[in-house]
Amino acid sequence: MNFQQSIEQGTIKKVFKDILRSQNLFSASSKTLITALKTNFEPNAFQSIVRELYEALRQYCEALGYLHGYKFGTHEAITTFLEEMLHEKNIALSFDRYRKLRNGINYYGDDVAPETVKEALKEIPELITILSKHKRE
């Protein structure tokens, strides 16, 4: 589904730009990211680390949405926003991959390999850094 179809179906809503909400979400994203990065790297924490990293990225994207005048009804809608509105196809693909990983953890109890956690610990902060350029647009 593309961006316009998402608006028509209501999974993305046009809203007034909300600077305060976006600032609050940027702050929440930062705190969530710090928590994930400080969590001990041990097997019992792997699921939590990935969940928190994804949450930090999702919060950051939600903040960008409010900054640009959009509210997302689904996580898939964020993927569409990243790709079509921000022109960040690679980030959209990574976001969707981590969304599916997080869903596997949350809804199916999937385990996470140490290599996957290491990759997420490196990649998600980098994705947020790249997305930060859209705060100034």
Query: What pLDDT digit, counting tens, does each position of 60-111 carry?
Result: 999 999 999 999 999 999 999 999 999 999 999 999 999 999 999 999 999 9
Fold of domain 3-132: Four Helix Bundle (Hemerythrin (Met), subunit A) (1.20.120)
Task: Report how far residue 77's alpha carbon sits from residue 65's, in angstroms, rounded to the nearest whole number.
Answer: 10
pLDDT digits (tens, 9 = 90+) for 25-53: 999 999 999 999 999 999 999 999 999 99
Residue 12, SS3 per DSSP: strand
Q: What angle do CA 57, 60, 63 make, to 5 degrees?
A: 150
Is the predicted pLDDT of residue 136 greater than 90, yes or no?
no
Task: Report how far residue 113's alpha carbon sits from residue 79's, in angstroms, rounded to the nearest whole number.
Answer: 24
The structure's pTM equals 0.96
Measured from the Cβ of residue 8, the count of other Cβ atoms closer than 10 Å reads 11
